[in-house]
Structure 1
Amino acid sequence: MTDGQRKKVGNSFIAWRFFLVCFVMLAVFIALAARAAYIQIIEPDMAIDESNKRTLRVEALHAQRGMIFDRHGNELAVSVPVVSVYADPKALDKSLEKKVLKAARKQGENIELLQKDQAELDKRKNIVYQNDPRWRELADVLHDSQSEINQRLRDDTSRRYVYLKRQITPAVANYIANLDLTGIHLLDESKRYYPAGEVAAHVVGFTNIDGEGIEGIENLFDQALTGADGRRTVRKDARGREIEVLDERERVEPQDVTLSIDQRIQGIAYKALKSAVLSYKATSGSAMVVDVKTGEILAMVNSPSFNPNNLTNAAPHKRRNRAITDLFEPGSTVKPLAVLAGLEYGSIVSDEVIDTHPGWMRVGGRVVTDPRNNKEMSLREILKKSSNMGVAKIAQTLPKDYLVRFYQKAGFGEDTGTNMVGESSGLYRPDRRWSDFEIATLSYGYAVSVSTAQLARVYATLGSGGISRPLTILKQSEPMPGERIMQEHNVKAVVEMMESVFEKGGTAPNAKVDGYRVAGKTGTSKKAIAGGYGDEYVGYFAGVGPVSEPRLAVVVMVNEPGGDVYYGGAVSGPAFAEIMSGALRILNVAPDLENYATLEDQESNDV
């Protein structure tokens, strides 16, 4: 290279350009460093949020609702898998807009002008939507009108979550998935199913569409049955592969609930009660079966009932658990208590004879009367013929406070112990002033209102020999703790007297339980109305069996029977006999009537 060429190259180097390029590159590096420092040090949250949006996934670990069983493990409430359909109207609208703009671009239209003309854009989106036959198929398979589906999807396109249908079958869900509709999503859920249907509806209750307990056991043990969902937070790569588990919260498994109900006895009780209500054209009815040894409720039924799997026709009056909510004056079913009170106090003895002549008496300016003049009656005859005069005269031998407190001790005026939602404690005010006439009416079942459950508890106390136990709707491994409130020999004496109700001349000769000695008592009371009593009646039948060793207490109540037949022995007696007989056989309780008859024959031969 010549000197002239070297001089030309040297002169071609321009210093300021070199420094300018260096300065620009340095500035770029400084800007990048500053930006990196800003993102990572000063404001790192934004970058983290953007990263999390792309990589973090939160997976819900759903806890399926617990099951409800009867005492033998038969399902009373189960959860079955279903699918819900929901829509994202905003995503659908964006998809329709893309299709409109794509079509306009192919036609060579000005896209920017079309986007500015919102009315024209909406018009074209609706045309694209309506021309797609899949939306009509969606409406058909969901059994909804096309206009209703259109309203949910197109009226407000700013929404991101709209239910189209809850709890559809997996087959319908598969059909919808195959339609491949933009903005339509499927959500796995569960639906409550009740295998026993209307037979156990009032006990088990039901849930709403979101799985929350509304009535019965479903409501009472809602928290235990629900559990708690878990959550798992993971980081995934672009291919959806799990990279890291960031957080994991285990779900709280729900508890199953085992009831004291025996589904076999529940079915027998419901059938018998429903037949009685229909046969006598009654407004309603209730029945209960209680194990006197444990306090467990083996059956609790009401009529009318409802189908918990389809609440379309489940009117509020059908959903009410009348056995624990509805109150009535129990009538003559409490007369055994009045006799027991006299025996416990000592004012009478078991072979006492009460003079009821002339069949009526005036008490505190009012009249207590029997249908006929029975003259002198034994305690057994008083219960057999259900004499108001007999028990009223026994009540006159007792201090007022003693009889009132005796009824309270038996369970009137307090909850039975089931803790079921809506249970009433009855209407009984022992602390008020009682007139002589009120005490007389109290002895034969007026001036006090009780539920079927409360009366069942009283008779369970009689069946257990005087031990009062709270009732329970849950299966127990041990008997409920009890308290002796009556002497056993007095209770047994009264229970044996109550057998006479089934004899000729008693109030229920046609309600015998084949093969078993059963103690019972009929009851018929007028229904109270404003200012007095109306023309409607309530028919009761309550009893325990078998007498030789009581196992069950059964109470049947029929409310407002129609026609001329309304006495408890007639309207409730047959149902009582059917329930008691069926339940004792199911529990394999040995018949005792034959042994009793043989024993009587032996005693007569000895004489």
Structure 2
Amino acid sequence: MAPLGGVRYGLILLLVVIGLGLLAGRIVILHVVDRPFLQGQGDARTLRTDTIPAHRGMITDRNGEPLAISTPVVTLWANPQDLPADDIQRLMLARALGMELDALNERIGRYSEREFMYLRRQMTPEAAQRVLGLRIPGVYAQDEYKRYYPAGEVTAQLLGVTNVDDAGQEGLELAYQPHLAGTPGQRRVLKDRRGRLVRDLQLLREARPGGDLTLSIDQRLQYMAYRELKAVVAEHEADGGVVVMMDARTGEVLAMANQPSYNPNNRAGLDPRGLRNQAIVDVYEPGSVMKPLAMAAMLQTGDVPLDTVVDTSPGWMVIDRFTIKDIRNYGKLTLSGILEKSSNIGMSKLVLRLEDPVVPAIYRALGLGQSPGTGFPGEATGSIPAPVRWSSSQWAALSYGYGLSVSALQLASAFTAIANDGRRLPPSLLKLGQSPAGEPVIDPGVARQILGMMDQVVEPGTGARQALVPGYRVAGKTGTVRKTDAGGYQEKAYRSLFVGIAPVSDPRIVTVVMIDHPRGEEYYGGAVAAPVFSRVAGNALRLLDVPPDARDPES
């Protein structure tokens, strides 16, 4: 019996050894011989986390009209390693994508070692479906969103743009990116090695759409302001210009137009100058439009009576070796006459009577030299010189609008104090729920006196007569300022300005017009900028249903 038991034991042991050997061999085969195959099979059934795109919030005007919306688009991508090498199929793909075959082959070759490359981003669903309908291996689709701007170039600089990933890059799109951008969702899916969805397993996080943004802009007024601005820039062959219209009761910006501009929906051949929102980010010396504000500062001291008369003869004067001139000798002028004739001599003589720097002080109180606080990217603060050892010529220059820099938006905001019984309203690019209290800067009586003087400036026979609006009383001030470069003031390059308030009896709008370097014989603010104000303000008052207040209905 013993030998038989030993044989059985040996047989069992042999079977165990053979089994272990087979197992070891199988392990070797799996890890060495079959490894590429198994790795491919593992890739063929993969758990992946997909991103669910979030809808970007809409931007609307104050009346709910869309200014920026996100529309569904399709991005096509490919795995270069799965694309067919057949020239016919590649030619069909290239034509469907609107590409040359050589360009497609070059792109495929460049990404040949990778598993992902874009074919065409942000296609319309219909165009993408025509490509997918070819059923070419290795071509896949991905849902995305693309920003569209219904108003095009009319609101381009204010709204800004988004990039190909729908993230804000300029303007309000950038300023309110956290608010507008939604939160992408996530889902766990099972896909094959070609990226095709096998099974939707689990929703990990729902996509949350971005918040909407309601601007203070009235699209009707914006279109109108842009149309008039574009026309006058073309007529005078100017470098550009801006129009800013503010609600005199709330500080809301009703229109903000810029020239040059661009089409944000098609940026091919874009002029870089068109990207700048000149109304907010550019500053310049404002010139004579500052005279009403400087006059208010002097009246408020009590040292300049309302019935003051200034002798401006002989039409020029020398201060600190600098010669200050008027266009001609106006002789004796009242305070209203100084504003009407825009006398630099009159303003200089008035301000030199005072001992305190009241003019720069009121400029600062009106928000000049400070950030407007709109949150717009790159908004300019401007500058007012510090009161350290000022010369008499600097004091005089500030009184007629030189020696400081402001933006068009700051200028409009400053004049809300004249329109609003001395209370300055900060500018807002967003629609407000209620009117702000404003900041008292000018004595109410003084503000009404200045408004009355500006009313007399815009009368038939004056230099600002082209700003008249039929049916309405208009208060305003012209300005013509020489441009500067690295060498100082340029000889024949000007900015033409007009600031207007309407209607005088119950101010509703404050409007600033600036035309940059008008060419030709006409370059004065009264001849170039004032007519733009007349057309823009007239249409705006009618659209806003503001009752006429003209003394003479036939005027």
Compute the displacement of 1:412 (Å). 1.7
Residue in structure 2 matching 1:82, options 48, 68, 73: 73
Tell me whether 1:536 sits opposite 2:527 in the alignment: no
2:323 & 2:198 partners in 1: Cα distance?
88
Alignment of 1:159-170 (within 5 A): 159-170=114-125
Structure 2 matches for 1:23-38, cutoff 5 A?
A: 24=15
Q: Which residue is equivalent to 2:444? A: 488
Displacement, 1:483? 1.1
**In the TM superposition, what is the alpha-carbon distance from 1:12 to its structure 2 partner?**
12
CA distance in 1 between counterparts of 2:197 and 2:423 reads 71
Partner of residue 252, structure 2: 296
1:137-181 CA deviation, whole Å, 9 max, x = no partner?
Answer: 221222211111001113442111111211112222111111111
Asked whether the 8 Å contact 1:87–1:153 carries over to 2, the reply is: no
Report SS of the residue matched to 1:382: helix
Q: Matched residues in 2 for 1:241 and 1:277: separation?
A: 60
After superposition, give the CA deviation of every residue in 1:457-513 in whole Å (9 maximum; x if it has no partner): 111222112112221111110223521011111101111111122213321112211
Could you tell me which of 534, 537, 560 is aligned with 2:517? 560
Of 532, 552, 570, 2:527 maps to: 570
Question: Does structure 1 conserve the Cα–Cα contact (< 8 Å) formed by 2:53 and 2:143?
Answer: no
Whether the aligned pair in 1 keeps the contact of 2:45 and 2:190 (CA below 8 Å) is no
- Equivalent position to 2:156, from 201, 204, 227: 201
The 4+ residue runs of structure 1 with deviation greater than 4 A are 10-15, 25-32, 50-53, 234-242
Judged with a 3 Å threshold, the aligned counterparts in structure 2 of structure 1 residues 432 and 141 are, in CA distance, closer, same or farther, namely: farther
Paired position in structure 2 for 1:3: none
Alignment-derived partner of residue 125 in structure 1: none
- 1:309-458 to 2 correspondence within 5 Å? 309-458=265-414
How far did 1:273 drift? Answer: 0.7
CA distance in 2, matches of 1:539, 1:349: 31
Q: Is the 8 A contact 2:222 2:255 kept in 1?
A: yes
Alpha-carbon offset, residue 234 of structure 1:
5.8
* Structure with more of its chain in helix, by fraction: 1
- Say which SS state the counterpart of residue 467 (structure 2) adopts: coil
Partner residue in 2 for 1:580: 537
Q: SS of 1:514's equivalent?
A: coil
- Determine helix, strand or coil for the equivalent of 2:188: strand
Cα distance between partner residues in 1 of 2:271 and 2:446: 46
CA distance in 2, matches of 1:403, 1:154: 69
- CA deviation digits over 1:225-264, x for unaligned, max 9? 112212123679999566x64x722334311111111100
**Rounded Cα–Cα distance in structure 2 between residues aligned with 1:154 and 1:380:** 77
Are 2:251 and 2:428, in contact at CA under 8 Å, matched by a contact in 1?
A: yes
Paired AA for residue 134 in structure 1 = Q
- Deviation, 1:526, is 0.7
Report SS of the residue matched to 2:493. Answer: strand
Report the alpha carbon displacement of residue 366 of structure 1 after superposing the two structures with TM: 2.2
Greater Rg by CA = 1
In structure 2, which of residues 395, 415, 430 is the aligned counterpart of residue 459 of structure 1? 415
SS in 1 for 2:166: coil
What is the TM-score with the length of structure 1 in the denominator? 0.83
**Residue 64 (structure 2) aligned to one of 70, 73, 84:** 73
Using a 3 Å threshold, how does the CA distance of structure 1 residues 20 and 462 change in structure 2: closer, same or farther?
A: farther
Q: State how far apart, in whole Å, the 2-side matches of 1:287 and 1:503 are.
A: 22
Cα distance in 2 for partners of 1:322, 1:486 equals: 28
Q: Which residue of 1 aligns with 2:179?
A: 224
Contact 1:286 1:452 survives alignment (8 Å): yes
Q: 2:62, 2:216 within 8 Å by CA — same for their partners in 1?
A: yes
Distance 1:51 1:180, change over 3 A: closer
**1:279 counterpart (235, 240, 261):** 235
Q: Which residues of 2 match residues 105-144 of structure 1 at below 5 A?
A: 128-130=85-87, 133-144=88-99
Contact 2:322 / 2:393 at 8 angstroms: preserved in 1? yes
Structure 2 contact 122–146 (Cα < 8 Å) conserved: yes
- Normalised by the size of structure 2, how large is the TM-score? 0.90
Q: Which residue of 2 aligns with 1:105?
A: none
Q: How big is the shift at 1:410?
A: 1.7
Gaps of 5+ in 1: 1-9, 37-46, 97-127, 599-607
Task: State the shift of 1:31 in Å.
Answer: 10
1:309 partner SS: coil
- Count of aligned pairs between the two proteins: 539
CA distance in 1, matches of 2:101, 2:215: 46
Residue 62 in 1 paired to residue 45 in 2?
no
